[in-house]
């Protein structure tokens, strides 16, 4: 496996399967890389993992500054999981002086749902900017994203389709801890007491999944969170692709997700799951 820091070094790895990350890799990322390996093997294509902490998608500079930089450990995990290349560019490579690395037009799913777009203004502009730039440099045939950032997955998929990029976006179900907490690099910031309370996000989605009416599902989710003293930024059930209001159609509801965001202590966590009927293969 090679570690590449510039565009020239990527030439041997074009048209493969790509896993974009910001580093601080954990078991959830490892699962993404393994899935990428499975997708790449029949095509005999390389697997590329990027490690780049993108400054343009952070709302708070302090959050950007304290984001873990663990390239050596990240590279070791990538090697273990069968990646062929780690692309670890500098900010100068990603956003070179004199080069217009503009923000593409944002799709409606990035600006209208009132979810991450409302609570992290400017975030999806940064996501679209960095993803477009990475896709242009890496030139993958497929790119794998985790479903934990569901709105991001829909934003990137819609952006790629709108730009006509020759690329397929593949989503992979969220990887969870044994107690249901979605794996995230942010989990290390939780105290032991906060870590226990954070499982309420998964439990809220399980409880909402038992309801067949979206309003009842949302009330059930908020009740579970309130029992742990957690006030969500949102706990909603939406249409899965557009994240617009869920409307009943003849024969039932279209595919839907429950999406939750909340601060546990000072740590902001997000999660989502299919609705109704969410039953994770864990003991939450």
State the catalytic residues. 29
Cα separations (Å) of 215 from 135, 187, 235? 39, 29, 11
Are the CB atoms for 47 and 82 separated by under 8 Å? yes
Tokens of 144: 């794998």
Q: CA-CA distance, 203 to 238, in Å (whole number)?
A: 18
Cα separations (Å) of 106 from 53, 155, 222? 21, 8, 30
DSSP 186: G
DSSP 201: H
Maximal C-alpha separation, the chain: 55
Are the CB atoms for 48 and 16 separated by under 8 Å? yes
């Amino acid at each position: 496996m090679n570690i590449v820091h510039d565009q020239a070094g990527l030439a041997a790895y074009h048209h493969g399967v790509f896993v974009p990350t910001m580093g601080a890799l954990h078991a959830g990322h490892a699962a993404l890389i393994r899935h990428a390996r499975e997708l790449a093997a029949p095509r005999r294509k390389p697997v590329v993992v990027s490690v780049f902490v993108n400054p343009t998608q952070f709302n708070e500079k302090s959050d950007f500054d304290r984001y873990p930089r663990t390239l050596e450990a990240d590279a070791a995990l990538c090697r273990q999981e069968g990646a062929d290349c780690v692309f670890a560019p500098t900010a100068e490579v990603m956003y070179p002086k004199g080069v217009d690395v503009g923000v593409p037009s944002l799709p409606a799913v990035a600006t209208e749902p009132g979810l991450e777009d409302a609570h992290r203004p400017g975030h999806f502009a940064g996501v679209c900017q960095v993803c477009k730039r990475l896709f242009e440099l890496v030139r993958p045939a497929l790119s794998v994203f985790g479903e934990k950032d569901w709105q991001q997955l829909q934003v990137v998929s819609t952006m790629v389709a709108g730009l006509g990029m020759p690329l397929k976006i593949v989503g992979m179900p969220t990887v969870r801890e044994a107690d249901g907490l979605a794996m995230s690099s942010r989990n290390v910031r939780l105290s032991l007491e906060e870590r226990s309370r954070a499982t309420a996000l998964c439990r809220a989605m399980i409880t909402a999944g038992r309801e067949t009416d979206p309003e009842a599902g949302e009330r059930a989710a908020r009740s579970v969170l309130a029992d742990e003293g957690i006030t969500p930024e949102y706990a909603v059930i939406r249409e899965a692709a557009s994240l617009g209001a869920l409307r009943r159609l003849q024969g039932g509801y279209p595919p839907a997700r429950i999406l939750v965001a909340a601060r546990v202590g000072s740590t902001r966590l997000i999660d989502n799951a299919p609705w109704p009927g969410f039953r994770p293969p864990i003991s939450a």
